[in-house]
């Protein structure tokens, strides 16, 4: 089943997100950056915390 067309009058491309094609969605994103969710802040870890984290990852994924 094909996706519906872009909701912009005269545009024949398939809908990508928010009812808009990729071109119109990109334009919407540029105009509405304030509406998008900001990225999570980066957490700074000291060396001991990094080692604990990677040990947990290895154990969780059964790599160790």
Q: Is residue 20 within 8 Å of 8, Cβ to Cβ? A: yes
Phi, psi of 34 (to 5 degrees): -65, -15
**What's the average model confidence in pLDDT over 35-40?**
75
Buried b (16+ CB within 10 A) or exposed e, 37-52: eeeeeeeeeeeeeeee
pLDDT band at residue 64 under the 50/70/90 scheme: low
Q: Does 63 or 10 have the greater pLDDT score?
A: 10
């Amino acid at each position: 089943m094909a996706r519906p067309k872009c909701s912009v009058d005269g545009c024949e491309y398939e809908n990508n997100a928010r009812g808009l094609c990729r071109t119109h969605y990109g334009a919407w994103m540029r105009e509405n950056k304030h509406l998008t969710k900001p990225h999570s802040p980066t957490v700074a870890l000291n060396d001991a915390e990094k080692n604990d984290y990677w040990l947990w990852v290895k154990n969780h994924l059964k790599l160790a």
